[in-house]
Chains A and B, each alone.
Chain A
């Protein structure tokens, strides 16, 4: 029973990921796409979390951390680049 519910949850998350991918495809502005990609990163963290319960292993916890940080840094640099044309401003 427990496993079944988890598998259903995984399928629901997959559907959510597909919906986000549609937004990445059609998004009228680039910021829409960044937003959807950011949400995909966050949802992937949840996906891996459920996999950890399902497979009863904690080896994925490093991956969760790295994915969180990389998703954040990616979103930040992309939006900063779009705003100013540079990622690191030199003048203060």
Chain B
């Protein structure tokens, strides 16, 4: 029984660490802020959620219901999209350049029409 629980916890931890490391590599390797936000907003969050689930299972099988860890998972879920939205929006409004591979940019039209109206 203990061996099985340890196996489950290990699998969760390994998956989580894998996603976390991939997100770190992505943040280092991808070319512009907007692509990096993909790596940080998704992979890092999912990786850490897997790790926290492993922690929760570990303590649950020892007869200790630790609801704070579930709360931490919930907060991570709720906050990750908002954080990446705010960062990318401030980057765009501050005029950080898009990568040269970018093929469409619908947002530019909106800001252009905005400025035309105000002029």
User: How many inter-chain contacts with C-beta < 8 Å in the A-B complex?
Assistant: 155
Tell me, in angstroms, the Cα distance from A52 to B58 when the chains sit together: 10
Q: Would you list which residues of chain B between 33 and 70 have a CB under 8 Å from chain A?
A: 33, 36-37, 39-40, 44-45, 47-48, 51-52, 54-55, 58-59, 64, 66, 68-69
- 0 or 1 for each of A53-85: is its CB under 8 Å from B? (1 = yes): 100001001101100110110011001101100
**A50 partner, pick from B25, B51, B64, beta carbons under 8 A:** B51
Please report the total number of B residues contacting A with Cβ < 8 Å: 51
Residues of A within 8 A of B17 (CB): 9, 12-13, 46
CB closest chain-B residue, reference A82: B90
A46 proximity list for chain B (CB < 8 A): 16-17, 20, 47-48, 51-52
The answer to whether A65 touches B75, judged by C-beta atoms less than 8 angstroms apart, is yes
Known contacts A2-B6, A53-B58; A31/B27 CB under 8 A: no
Contacts of B27 in A (CB 8 A): 19-20, 23, 35-36, 39
Within 8 A of B (CB), among A10-44: 12-13, 15-17, 19-20, 22-23, 29-32, 34-36, 38-39, 42-43
Give the CA-CA distance A43 to B36 in the complex, in Å: 15
Q: Once bound together, how far apart are the Cα atoms of A64 and B89, in whole Å?
A: 28
The answer to whether A50 touches B83 (Cβ under 8 A) is: no
Pick the residue among A6, A22, A45, A58 that contacts B52 (CB under 8 A): A45
